[in-house]
Amino acid sequence: MPPAILAVSALLSGTAFLFLGSGLYNTLIAIRAAGEGFAPSVVGAVMGAYYLGFLVGCLYCPRLIYGVGHIRTYAALTAIASAATLAHMLQVDPMTWGVLRMIVGFCLAGLYMTIESWLNGKASSDSRGRIFAIYMMVNLGALGFGQLLLLTTDSKSFALFAATSMLISLAAVPISLASISPPEFGVSKPIRLGALWRLSPLALIACGGIGVAQGAFWALTPVFTLDAGFSENGTALFMALTVFGGLALQWPIGWISDRWDRRSLILVICALTAIVAAAATYAGERQWTMALFGVGVLYGGLSFTVYALSVSHANDHADMDGIVSLSARLLLVYAIGAVAGPVLCGWVIGLTSPSALFSFIAAVFLLLCAFGIWRQTRRPPVPLEEQAPFVPMSRAGSFSGELDPRHTDETP
Which residues constitute the domain of residue 127?
Answer: 1-180
List all residues 6 or more positions away from 252 whose beta carbon is below 8 Å from its beta carbon. Answer: none
Which one of 155, 180, 205 terminates a domain?
180
Tell me, yes or no, whether 320 and 284 share the same domain: yes
Give the CA radius of gyration of the chain: 20
What pLDDT was estimated at residue 409? 43
Tell me, yes or no, whether 108 and 3 share the same domain: yes
Residue 403 lies in a domain: no
Rounded to the nearest 10°, the torsion over CA 71, 74, 77, 83 is -100
Tell me, yes or no, whether 52 and 95 share the same domain: yes
Show pLDDT as tens, one digit a residue, over the chain (412 residues).
Answer: 555 556 577 788 888 999 999 999 999 999 999 889 898 889 989 998 999 999 898 888 888 888 888 888 889 999 999 999 999 999 999 999 999 999 999 999 888 888 877 776 666 555 555 676 677 788 888 999 999 999 988 888 889 999 999 999 999 988 777 776 666 655 555 667 777 777 778 888 998 999 999 999 998 999 999 999 998 899 999 999 999 998 888 778 877 877 777 888 889 999 999 999 999 999 999 889 899 999 999 999 999 888 878 877 777 666 555 555 676 777 788 889 999 999 999 999 989 999 999 999 999 999 999 998 887 777 666 555 555 555 555 554 434 444 344 444 443 3
Helix axes 70-87, 9-35, angle to 10 degrees: 20
Residue 406 lies in a domain: no
List all residues 6 or more positions away from 72 whose beta carbon is below 8 Å from its beta carbon. Answer: none
Contact 312, 388 (CB under 8 A): yes
Contact 379, 256 (CB under 8 A): no
Exposed, middle or buried, 173 (CB in 10 Å: 0-12/13-18/19+)?
middle
Domain harbouring 349, CATH code: 1.20.1250.20
Residue 394 lies in a domain: no
List all residues 6 or more positions away from 280 whose beta carbon is below 8 Å from its beta carbon. Answer: 292, 295, 296, 299, 358
Residue 161 lies in a domain: yes
Tell me, yes or no, whether 73 and 120 share the same domain: yes
Tell me, yes or no, whether 29 and 132 share the same domain: yes
Tell me, yes or no, whether 118 and 225 share the same domain: no
Give the Cα separation of 250 and 371 in Å (integer): 23
What pLDDT was estimated at residue 4? 55
Q: How many domains does the chain have?
A: 2
Residue 402 lies in a domain: no
What pLDDT was estimated at residue 125? 54
Tell me, yes or no, whether 218 and 110 share the same domain: no
Residue 399 lies in a domain: no
The Cα angle at residue 224 between residues 221 and 229, in degrees rounded to 5 = 125
Give the Cα separation of 210 and 379 in Å (integer): 22
Residue 56 lies in a domain: yes
Tell me, yes or no, whether 207 and 174 share the same domain: no
Give the Cα separation of 73 and 185 in Å (integer): 15
List all residues 6 or more positions away from 178 whose beta carbon is below 8 Å from its beta carbon. Answer: 10, 11
Tell me, yes or no, whether 316 and 198 share the same domain: yes
List all residues 6 or more positions away from 67 whose beta carbon is below 8 Å from its beta carbon. Answer: none
Which one of 180, 201, 235 terminates a domain?
180
What pLDDT was estimated at residue 139? 84
**DSSP-based three-state secondary structure for 378:** coil
Residue 400 lies in a domain: no
What pLDDT was estimated at residue 321? 54
Tell me, yes or no, whether 355 and 381 share the same domain: yes
Write the Ramachandran bin of 288: left for phi over 0, alpha for psi from -120 to 50, otherwise beta: beta
Give the Cα separation of 231 and 168 in Å (integer): 26
Tell me, yes or no, whether 88 and 198 share the same domain: no
Listing DSSP states for 190-250 in one string gives PPPHHHHHHH-HHHHHHHHHHHHHHHHHHHHHHHHHHHTT--HHHHHHHHHHHHHHHHHHH
Cα→Cα distances 205→110, 253, 314, 365, 411, Å:
25, 20, 11, 11, 27
What pLDDT was estimated at residue 6? 60
Tell me, yes or no, whether 175 and 196 share the same domain: no
